Chains A and B, each alone.
Chain A
């Protein structure tokens, strides 16, 4: 701006001459003190901080929108301004990384050793006392157990096949409740807060609070095999023995959707936490992805030639790991349903898999639990940590925001230390392991207000924030439909008939005339459209040479070569 004004002023004065008169001043000249220079400094010239480009990349929401295609200068300018704002917010977010106060865990081996050799007891001896307390075993006698951590990783829910259910704060080891439901327990799931959880029992799904009081029994979900809770949608999803998938809205208690997948019993199910889609794996080696709004899978991937033994989705929603009975582990890019990016063989098929927040992959093979680090996915001989459990493993999960892997077996629960597994810095407004009661209540209200409608569950979670551009297929379909349009029905009403001007016969006549006129107009319009489409796609109109009646002598014409 200032430059503009200056040039304008210069132009303005360019025309006139400025005469400087020679003043004959003979007195003493006293020089005024020069103004300090900082007055002239530009105010907006702030000290530029150097920002780590990796951090910028981490916080980036994708490349800037290009100006091409924007027609007016005004909108171009607006777009540019918006990009500046976005860039600024990106920088600010990246700069906040210096405020984080925790560092990630890690484990390095001595020379000549490898980390897989270290036992849990060795790790416990070498870590601080609070971390050492996170390693514990629970020997329980109620059959194969299932388990879940809460979203903030503070609480643990375990359920044994023979009816034993316990919910506790596993860090302080404070028990919320412990009971025997006197029925088979198939799967367990926390609801949105740690005061409520759902248990899939022999027949139905039951809800309990942290005192062990039964709150609710959902008989619509029967003989359920697997439970998953989608915290942002407030949906409890279940897959059952017959192949039905159900989504129950736990905030209003309504069944959102319920249908048969026609894939047989649901045994292997997990959710993709970034878009809320359920991934089912079946005996045909196919992974299918389901949402409550469509009865057809959103996507299908043929992952293994044999049946699949386990799947797991990365918490960041980038990768999916599958393991088949062919003893191969494959890592897929789940965003584009493509891959496998990595594939390797293991000793025996893994019956369970889990991926940690930092990308560690753990495999349960019989009673052995192996954790692989990201670069070592490829060479299974170099596991990061190996642990032999006391019995066959029935479930496992990495604890969010902790370096801990929870493993349930036939004989109970084990908490294993896996340094470098969890995200060190949590966001207290998203998932806070240290939240107080009042914070929990406030967050519950906030989460309920932000509840995402179930219709938004789709493969691309960002679809709602993007411009709806019809795909090529949709465009073609729309054009195709034009070819089969029917003439519109004319709803004719004669306007204000004057008294004595024609009766019903006359009206009927007028009606017919109008109808015919409309029809003719429509036919004419359609003809134009059809010709346009044909011309565009260079299709010969069917009303050409073939339609002409054949002449007797046509048979002597030379045949055209197609």
Chain B
């Protein structure tokens, strides 16, 4: 007779001393893990709830400006520094880990309209209402700040953007001017129509491409190598700011005066790829995350929203009691933080993912979080989980206005429907919403 029985040696299953870690033998056979999907669902539900419990996005604020914050410049090589300008012409350079201002000086008379770092981060440039472009050293030991160079412009200046790699920068105002860092005269002036431009942005991938927003509700595209502007597109409302997708060279997003943001494919400007709704007032600034998958927008309605670049509705809304009109936003280059500057003189630091833990994670912690993340994604469509994940407590005026705008939109739709059913068939055609947003395109 041949017999064998299960007989386990306890030494193989138990730790030798209390200082050892437990020996955990695994067997992934599904029959030993009954009720798999129900348990996963419960875990996903708990993970979603915990996500909301730990959602504390506000990190801190940078205090020091004596007037509203008008613009930012992210340091291209270091995560620790941020440069900001305000309405009174002051510029602050911030050290973010300590949240202190390490330099502050009055740079311009009137507004500081734009700041940008040079690619090497040796200097930064600022433009102001006093029609000057000033070049500043980014590291200096001297106490009084004197610009390295001051360039006088003949026209007003409202924005500045630097080329990704070369020593060219562009300013906007009455005209779009291209400058070389070493010269005091513009290399080129590009003009289309008589209207003023209020924002300009170099494409970070297709580096010689430029886009600017004009006050005649248009967006104009330029090429640095070309003598004339490339293309112009007129929208129904004024675009306030443009941000290029850093990973997809042809996509850009426009913050618009009509409470929406529009993502365009620059090869097909007739209609936006996506309309991003949810803001209840004019959107003033937009900035892409370095991954190009999401962007942040700041609005006149005193909130910041984070959108997926391909989704219509925002995934997150940030607000505080004290934050006023948000004038500028920025997404930190390590994809973890968001800056926002607002009218009430503060710059705020936020987490890009509201419930993310800051700091190093131990491997077990990370794997647990990854597991929870996967489960949340897997069961995201279940009504209870979706409800908890989407719910946000918002101020009353936001809540009421969102409701109001929903009713307004419904009314428009209903009115169009009524008009359609009471007129000759075909007289009121179906026009998709995206078709209505771009009026015309010039080449």
CB of A123 within 8 Å of the partner chain = yes
Q: How many pairs, one residue from A and one from B, have CB atoms within 8 Å of each other in the complex?
A: 145
User: What residues on B are CB-neighbors of A456 within 8 Å?
Assistant: 35, 38, 41
Contact of A118 among B1, B13, B35 (CB under 8 A): B1
A452-B38, A452-B39, A452-B42 as given contacts; A105 in contact with B28, CB under 8 Å? no
CB of B17 within 8 Å of the partner chain = no
Q: How far, in angstroms, from A198 to B46 measured CA to CA in the complex?
A: 29
**Chain B, 168-187, CB within 8 A of any chain A CB:** none
B14 touches A434 (CB 8 A): yes
B34 touches A450 (CB 8 A): no
CB of B59 within 8 Å of the partner chain = no
Q: How far, in angstroms, from A397 to B206 measured CA to CA in the complex?
A: 73
Given A317-B34, A427-B25, 5 more contacts at CB 8 Å? A96-B28, A109-B1, A426-B27, A434-B8, A434-B14
- Please report the total number of B residues contacting A with Cβ < 8 Å: 37
B24 touches A428 (CB 8 A): yes
Q: How far, in angstroms, from A559 to B23 measured CA to CA in the complex?
A: 89
CB of B2 within 8 Å of the partner chain = yes
Q: How far, in angstroms, from A506 to B4 measured CA to CA in the complex?
A: 96
A105 touches B1 (CB 8 A): no
CB of A423 within 8 Å of the partner chain = yes
User: What residues on A are CB-neighbors of B358 within 8 Å?
Assistant: none
A130 touches B30 (CB 8 A): no
Chain A interface helix/strand/loop/mixed = loop
B6 touches A401 (CB 8 A): yes
Closest to A460 in B: B37
A59-B28, A96-B26, A428-B24 as given contacts; A275 in contact with B35, CB under 8 Å? yes
B3 touches A464 (CB 8 A): no
A427-B25, A427-B27 as given contacts; A101 in contact with B34, CB under 8 Å? no
The 4 closest A-B pairs by CB, nearest first: A465-B37, A131-B5, A434-B13, A105-B5
Closest to A101 in B: B12
Closest to A55 in B: B29
**What is the minimal beta-carbon distance from B29 to any residue of chain A, in angstroms?**
6
**Chain A, 457-486, CB within 8 A of any chain B CB:** 461-466
B1 touches A122 (CB 8 A): yes
User: What residues on B are CB-neighbors of A193 within 8 Å?
Assistant: none
Per-residue contact bits, chain A 94-123, to B (CB 8 Å; 1 contact, 0 not): 001001111111111110010100100011
CB of B31 within 8 Å of the partner chain = yes
User: What residues on B are CB-neighbors of A419 within 8 Å?
Assistant: 3-5
Contact of A131 among B7, B12, B43 (CB under 8 A): B7
CB of A376 within 8 Å of the partner chain = no
CB of B40 within 8 Å of the partner chain = yes
What are 9 contact pairs spanning A and B, CB under 8 A?
A102-B8, A105-B5, A107-B3, A126-B3, A232-B39, A273-B34, A275-B35, A428-B13, A464-B38
User: What residues on A are CB-neighbors of B22 within 8 Å?
Assistant: 428, 436, 439
A101-B25, A128-B7, A130-B7 as given contacts; A232 in contact with B34, CB under 8 Å? yes
B31 touches A316 (CB 8 A): yes
Q: How far, in angstroms, from A61 to B36 measured CA to CA in the complex?
A: 11
User: What residues on B are CB-neighbors of A431 within 8 Å?
Assistant: 32
User: What residues on B are CB-neighbors of A533 within 8 Å?
Assistant: none
A402 touches B27 (CB 8 A): no
**What is the minimal beta-carbon distance from B3 to any residue of chain A, in angstroms?**
5
**What is the minimal beta-carbon distance from B365 to any residue of chain A, in angstroms?**
15
Contact of B6 among A104, A317, A428 (CB under 8 A): A104
User: What residues on B are CB-neighbors of A103 within 8 Å?
Assistant: 4
A61 touches B30 (CB 8 A): yes
Per-residue contact bits, chain A 52-78, to B (CB 8 Å; 1 contact, 0 not): 000000110100000000000000000
Closest to A457 in B: B38
User: What residues on B are CB-neighbors of A93 within 8 Å?
Assistant: 28
Q: How far, in angstroms, from A126 to B379 measured CA to CA in the complex?
A: 53
A59-B30, A434-B10, A465-B40 as given contacts; A106 in contact with B24, CB under 8 Å? no
User: What residues on A are CB-neighbors of B12 within 8 Å?
Assistant: 101
Q: How far, in angstroms, from A261 to B344 measured CA to CA in the complex?
A: 69
A107-B2, A451-B42 as given contacts; A461 in contact with B37, CB under 8 Å? yes
CB of B33 within 8 Å of the partner chain = yes
The residue among B30, B34, B39, B382 with the most chain A CB atoms within 10 A of its own CB is B34
User: What residues on B are CB-neighbors of A425 within 8 Å?
Assistant: 25, 27
- A residues bordering B, Cβ < 8 Å? 58-59, 61, 93, 96, 99-110, 113, 115, 118, 122-123, 126-128, 130-131, 134, 232, 273-276, 315-317, 401-403, 417, 419, 422-434, 436, 439, 449-453, 456, 461-466
The residue among B13, B28, B35 with the most chain A CB atoms within 10 A of its own CB is B35
**What is the minimal beta-carbon distance from A322 to any residue of chain B, in angstroms?**
21
A462 touches B37 (CB 8 A): yes
**What is the minimal beta-carbon distance from B156 to any residue of chain A, in angstroms?**
46
B3 touches A127 (CB 8 A): yes
Closest to A438 in B: B22
User: What residues on A are CB-neighbors of B5 within 8 Å?
Assistant: 105, 127-128, 131, 134, 403, 417, 419
User: What residues on B are CB-neighbors of A232 within 8 Å?
Assistant: 34-35, 38-39
User: What residues on B are CB-neighbors of A100 within 8 Å?
Assistant: 25, 27
User: What residues on B are CB-neighbors of A107 within 8 Å?
Assistant: 1-4
Q: How far, in angstroms, from A425 to B42 measured CA to CA in the complex?
A: 27
**Chain B, 190-217, CB within 8 A of any chain A CB:** none
A427 touches B26 (CB 8 A): yes
A464 touches B34 (CB 8 A): no
Q: How far, in angstroms, from A130 to B2 measured CA to CA in the complex?
A: 17
User: What residues on B are CB-neighbors of A424 within 8 Å?
Assistant: 6
Closest to B382 in A: A464
Q: How far, in angstroms, from A422 to B35 measured CA to CA in the complex?
A: 20
Q: How far, in angstroms, from A315 to B40 measured CA to CA in the complex?
A: 20
Q: How far, in angstroms, from A115 to B3 measured CA to CA in the complex?
A: 10
Closest to A452 in B: B38
**What is the minimal beta-carbon distance from A105 to any residue of chain B, in angstroms?**
4
**What is the minimal beta-carbon distance from A374 to any residue of chain B, in angstroms?**
15
Contact of A461 among B2, B38, B46 (CB under 8 A): B38
User: What residues on A are CB-neighbors of B4 within 8 Å?
Assistant: 103, 105-107, 127, 419
User: What residues on A are CB-neighbors of B37 within 8 Å?
Assistant: 461-466
Per-residue contact bits, chain B 379-394, to A (CB 8 Å; 1 contact, 0 not): 1001000000000000
User: What residues on A are CB-neighbors of B46 within 8 Å?
Assistant: 449-450
A106 touches B6 (CB 8 A): no
Q: How far, in angstroms, from A553 to B34 measured CA to CA in the complex?
A: 75
User: What residues on B are CB-neighbors of A461 within 8 Å?
Assistant: 34-38
User: What residues on A are CB-neighbors of B35 within 8 Å?
Assistant: 232, 274-276, 452, 456, 461
Closest to B29 in A: A58
User: What residues on B are CB-neighbors of A122 within 8 Å?
Assistant: 1
Q: How far, in angstroms, from A9 to B26 measured CA to CA in the complex?
A: 51
User: What residues on A are CB-neighbors of B382 within 8 Å?
Assistant: 464
**What is the minimal beta-carbon distance from A182 to any residue of chain B, in angstroms?**
38
Q: How far, in angstroms, from A436 to B13 measured CA to CA in the complex?
A: 11
Q: How far, in angstroms, from A456 to B38 measured CA to CA in the complex?
A: 7
The residue among A58, A123, A433, A464 with the most chain B CB atoms within 10 A of its own CB is A464
Closest to A110 in B: B1
Q: How far, in angstroms, from A473 to B138 measured CA to CA in the complex?
A: 73
**Chain B, 31-67, CB within 8 A of any chain A CB:** 31-43, 46
User: What residues on B are CB-neighbors of A115 within 8 Å?
Assistant: 1
A58 touches B30 (CB 8 A): yes
Q: How far, in angstroms, from A402 to B43 measured CA to CA in the complex?
A: 30
Closest to A123 in B: B3
